[in-house]
Amino acid sequence: MAANEASESRKCAWLVMYELANMISVPMSLTAVVRLNVADAIWQGGSNAPLSAAEILSGIGLPSGDPDNLQRILRLLASYGVFSEHLSDDGSERRYSLTEIGKALVTDESFSYGAYVLQHHQDALMRAWPLVHEAVVDPTTELFVKANGEPAYSYYGKSDEMTVLMKRAMAGLSVPVMKALLDGYDGFEGVERLVDVGGNAGDCLSMIMKKHPGVKEGVNFDLPEVVAHAPDIPGVTHVGGDMLKSIPAGDAIFMKWILSIFTDEECEAIMINCHKALPERGKLIVAEPVLPNLTDDSHRSRALLEGDIRMMTIYRTKSRHRTEEEYRQLGLSAGFPHFRSLSFDYFFTVLEFQK
């Protein structure tokens, strides 16, 4: 009996390892359906009627495409909940509709994650992934630099296509996250001058000011070459600079998904600059992915831990997601005695540091 149980356990272990070893087929298949606009072909303005692979190919203007190969991709993604599979009574035909997960790829919706999928799997980024082990061998080796000859952001900056795709990807992610934050967090009340550090074009700052009209003055702070292309926004001043050197003064300072890019030492320096720029009782409001303290196999934990490895691979080996306690300690080191956190989203957490 024990021998049989051990044998079954070993077989299950082999099966799981086989799945893990072939996991690359999942993001690559997801990338394929985004490139082919499969979600739009099924959605059709909201009908979401189940379609065969051949019907999907016709809908995307590719009637000469291979329906068998498309169906193989759809079956895999259906097993991960992206599509629902509808099998005919006699089992001879398979049709597919979008699940809630799949609907996130529809481009005629307000916010599509399609660009986010594509942005993650561009050739330059993919070249860095086989080098992950080198982050262990030598943490001073920057993997993206080794694969492409220069850091990710400067590499993006030389390609209009990559820059546009990154902006689309961040917009698809940022808008729903900001809506959730503004619905679940009241810490902007009483703030009159708000500084958004790393605010890019100022979209997040604009959303905050619309939700909280008491914020009379917004400062969108980013690199000079970034704010040079920022549009005019009523009540917002675009300021160029380097957050590692200084930050404009405000009643409160906001950052979204900024600190993960930096090392612990750099985060402390940035937070010290924030502390200097704030009045007594002023707040630093940070929205970041926060790692769980205990590791489990939930979708949330996996998404956060996968994101942490991505930071290590694409940005720098010591760029990282952090736990709540690690952020609290960084805040104390920077001079912030008061700290609270609020989970407002499955992926992001608001971290509030008060002077």
Q: Are 147 and 127 in contact (CB under 8 A)?
A: yes
Contacts of 191 (CB under 8 A, 6+ apart): 212, 214, 215, 250, 251, 252, 283
pLDDT above 70 for 77 = yes
Residue 296 Cα to chain centre, angstroms: 20
pLDDT band at 64; cut points 50, 70, 90: very high
Give me the percent of the chain exceeding a pLDDT of 70. 98
- Candidates 106, 285, 260, 315; CA nearest to 204 is 285
Give me the percent of the chain exceeding a pLDDT of 90. 83
> What sign does the dihedral 246-250-252-254 (CA atoms) show?
negative
pLDDT (0 to 100) of residue 162: 87
pLDDT (0 to 100) of residue 340: 96
Name the residue with higher pLDDT: 110 or 304: 304
C-alpha–C-alpha distance, residues 189 and 201, integer Å: 23
Average pLDDT, the chain: 94
For residues 58-69, give the mean pLDDT. Answer: 96
- Candidates 253, 243, 255, 271; CA nearest to 329 is 271
Q: Are 101 and 81 in contact (CB under 8 A)?
A: yes
Q: Is 117 exposed, middle or buried (0-12, 13-18, 19+ CB in 10 A)?
A: buried
Q: Are 268 and 332 in contact (CB under 8 A)?
A: no
For residues 102-108, give the mean pLDDT. Answer: 91
Q: Is the pTM of this model over 0.95?
A: no
C-alpha–C-alpha distance, residues 239 and 9, integer Å: 60
pLDDT above 80 for 287 = yes
- pLDDT tens digits, 241-255: 999 999 999 999 999
pLDDT above 70 for 2 = no
pLDDT (0 to 100) of residue 226: 85
pLDDT (0 to 100) of residue 201: 87
pLDDT (0 to 100) of residue 168: 83
pLDDT (0 to 100) of residue 1: 56
pLDDT (0 to 100) of residue 296: 96
Q: β-strand 94-98 against 217-222: which pairing, if any?
A: unpaired
pLDDT (0 to 100) of residue 269: 98
Apex 139 CA angle, 138 and 144, nearest 5: 100
- pLDDT tens digits, 113-170: 999 999 999 999 999 999 999 999 999 989 999 999 999 988 988 888 888 888 888 8
- Candidates 135, 133, 101, 111; CA nearest to 33 is 101
Apex 100 CA angle, 95 and 101, nearest 5: 90
Taking the CA atoms of the chain, what radius of gyration do you get in angstroms?
23
pLDDT above 80 for 109 = no
Give the chain as a 3 state SS string.
Answer: CHHHHHHHHHHHHHHHHHHHHCCCHHHHHHHHHHHCCHHHHHHHHHCCCCECHHHHHHHCCCCCCCHHHHHHHHHHHHHCCCEEEEECCCCCCEEEEECHHHHCCCCCCCCCCHHHHHHHCCHHHHHHHHHCCHHHHCCCCCHHHHHHCCCHHHHHHCCHHHHHHHHHHHHHHHHHHHHHHHHHCCCCCCCCEEEEECCCCCHHHHHHHHHCCCCCEEEEEECHHHHCCCCCCCCEEEEECCCCCCCCCCCEEEEECCHHHCCHHHHHHHHHHHHHHCCCCCEEEEEEEEECCCCCCCHHHHHHHHHHHHHHHHHCCCCCCEEHHHHHHHHHHCCCCEEEEEECCCCEEEEEEEC
pLDDT (0 to 100) of residue 176: 85
Dihedral in degrees, nearest 10, Cα atoms 79, 100, 58, 70 = -20
pLDDT band at 309; cut points 50, 70, 90: very high
Q: Are 271 and 334 in contact (CB under 8 A)?
A: yes
For residues 251-270, give the mean pLDDT. Answer: 96
